[in-house]
């Protein structure tokens, strides 16, 4: 009876044709020495292992961290304090934690933190898009991963940020959803008419001012001036039930109020005022409103009843931008009105609200013919005395 053949040890390193690269099971391992110690790093493919070895031979000899993806994420999310002087809010910590736990951990839980590469990030984004995750959801994941890996780069745990430069795949219908959609005047009138009377002023203020819903529910009487120069002073917001400072200095602004809106707010103040620091629009208990309750119990039913089920709070902000451009406000004015960080963002977001294409050229008749010296225009004393092109040529 012949002895049973011994099975190869899956932990054994098997030489490949490239020195320093070995095969172990279904993966490839690069082995090198650094400061007298041997180090190993595993890769999924032979080409990835060769590329890593080439980088190391060209000067990148510092070994990467061997901490697991989940371990690093847990440490980072609990201790991260921000990368600017403004610090880091706990609400933002929640926004970073959720998408990584929901989308990245299930895929990379057993991975080495430094093993994630741009191709892996690209594959993850593509898989999420194919599974129906919205572009906005993938963007939130990209933002959280990018900040986490940027911290790791600063700490020397990885050499580069694998999220940097990776684009988010576009899904069917994204072009439509990327373009902010506001209400027409007719749609706005119909929707406002379908709302309960006690909510009409709140929802009229949104397209008047372009306030974010967090800013609107955070508005107190201290920051509403209804004198000779009526205006709203945007100074804080309420987010997830907590009053907090604005996310950036650009959000701090003063928004003028029309005479009609100022009069309505003055009447509302007379009937509901309970102190300078109390909300302009309060819940039945006297505290700040909860956006989800207002959306689900007030806005959504009214919008569906008039065939505008797609409307959300941000729709009123887009409507404000549309009305401002329609009234002749320029990009800089709209930027300051809405509290955007820069006019370039405003232009990119709302360029579709401006005239399609190049528009009419009729204005050039008056502009060109009205200029002294224009073709077939009247000759003035100045133009008669001017030297010809031949005389001025150099």
277 CB-side CA count, 13 A: 1
Full residue range of the structural domain in which residue 28 is found? 14-57
Residues 6+ apart with CB under 8 A from 275: 221
Same domain, 114 and 152: yes
Averaged pLDDT, 293-305:
93
Residue 343 sits in a domain whose CATH number is 1.10.443.10
Question: Residue 57 above 50 pLDDT?
Answer: yes
Q: Show which of 176, 203, 232 is a domain's final residue.
A: 176
Rounded to 5°, the CA angle 152-155-158 comes to: 50
Nearest to 131 by CA among 169, 162, 177: 169
149-198 residue pLDDT tens = 988 888 888 888 999 888 888 655 444 445 678 888 899 999 999 999 99
User: Which pLDDT does position 158 carry in this prediction?
Assistant: 86
Question: Residue 58 above 70 pLDDT?
Answer: no
Nearest to 324 by CA among 302, 299, 343: 343
Residue 106 sits in a domain whose CATH number is 1.10.150.130
5-46 residue pLDDT tens = 556 566 788 888 888 889 888 888 888 776 567 888 888 888
Give the residue with greater pLDDT, 351 vs 140: 140
User: Which pLDDT does position 179 carry in this prediction?
Assistant: 66
The model carries a pTM of: 0.54
User: Which pLDDT does position 392 carry in this prediction?
Assistant: 34
User: Which pLDDT does position 65 carry in this prediction?
Assistant: 58
- Six-digit token pair at 394? 């150099």
Averaged pLDDT, 117-128:
91
Nearest to 125 by CA among 170, 190, 174, 157: 170
**Percent of the chain surpassing pLDDT 90:** 31
320-346 residue pLDDT tens = 988 888 888 888 988 899 888 788 778
User: 306 with 191: CB under 8 angstroms?
Assistant: yes
The answer to whether position 335 is within a domain reads: yes
The answer to whether position 167 is within a domain reads: yes
Secondary structure class of 43 (helix, strand, coil): strand
Averaged pLDDT, 81-107:
78
Same domain, 197 and 216: yes
The answer to whether position 97 is within a domain reads: yes
Same domain, 41 and 73: no
Same domain, 133 and 281: no
Same domain, 198 and 296: yes
């Amino acid at each position: 009876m012949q002895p049973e053949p011994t099975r190869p040890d899956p932990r054994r390193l098997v030489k490949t044709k490239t020195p320093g690269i070995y095969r172990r099971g279904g993966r490839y391992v690069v082995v090198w020495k650094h400061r007298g110690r041997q180090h190993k790093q595993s890769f999924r493919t032979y080409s990835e292992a060769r590329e890593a070895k080439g980088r190391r031979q060209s000067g990148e000899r510092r070994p990467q961290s061997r901490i697991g993806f989940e371990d690093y994420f847990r440490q980072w999310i609990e201790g991260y304090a921000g990368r600017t002087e403004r610090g880091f809010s706990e609400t933002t910590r929640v926004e970073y934690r959720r998408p990584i736990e929901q989308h990245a951990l299930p895929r990379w839980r057993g991975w080495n933190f430094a093993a994630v590469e741009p191709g892996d990030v690209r594959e993850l984004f593509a898989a999420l898009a194919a599974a129906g995750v919205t572009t906005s959801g993938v963007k939130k994941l990209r933002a959280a991963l990018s900040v986490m890996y940027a911290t790791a780069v600063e700490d020397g745990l990885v050499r580069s940020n694998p999220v940097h430069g990776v684009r988010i795949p576009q899904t069917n219908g994204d072009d439509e959803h990327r373009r902010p959609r506001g209400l027409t005047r007719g749609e706005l009138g119909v929707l406002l008419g379908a709302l309960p009377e006690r909510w009409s002023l709140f929802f009229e203020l949104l397209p008047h001012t372009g306030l974010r819903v967090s800013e609107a529910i955070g508005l107190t009487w201290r920051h509403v001036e209804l004198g000779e120069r009526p205006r709203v002073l945007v100074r804080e917001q309420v987010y997830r039930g907590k009053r907090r400072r604005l996310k950036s200095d650009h959000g701090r602004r003063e928004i003028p109020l029309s005479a009609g809106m100022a009069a309505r707010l003055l009447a509302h103040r007379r009937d509901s005022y309970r102190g300078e620091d109390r909300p302009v629009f309060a819940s039945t208990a006297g505290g700040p409103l909860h956006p989800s309750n207002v959306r689900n119990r007030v806005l959504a039913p009214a919008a569906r009843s008039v065939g505008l089920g797609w409307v959300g709070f941000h729709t009123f902000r887009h409507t404000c931008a549309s009305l401002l451009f329609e009234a002749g406000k320029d990009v800089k004015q709209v930027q300051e009105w809405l509290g955007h960080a820069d006019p370039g963002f405003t232009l990119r977001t709302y360029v579709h609200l401006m005239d399609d294409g190049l528009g009419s050229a009729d204005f050039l008749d008056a502009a060109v013919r009205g200029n002294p010296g224009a073709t077939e225009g009247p000759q003035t004393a100045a133009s008669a005395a001017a030297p010809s092109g031949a005389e001025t040529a150099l």
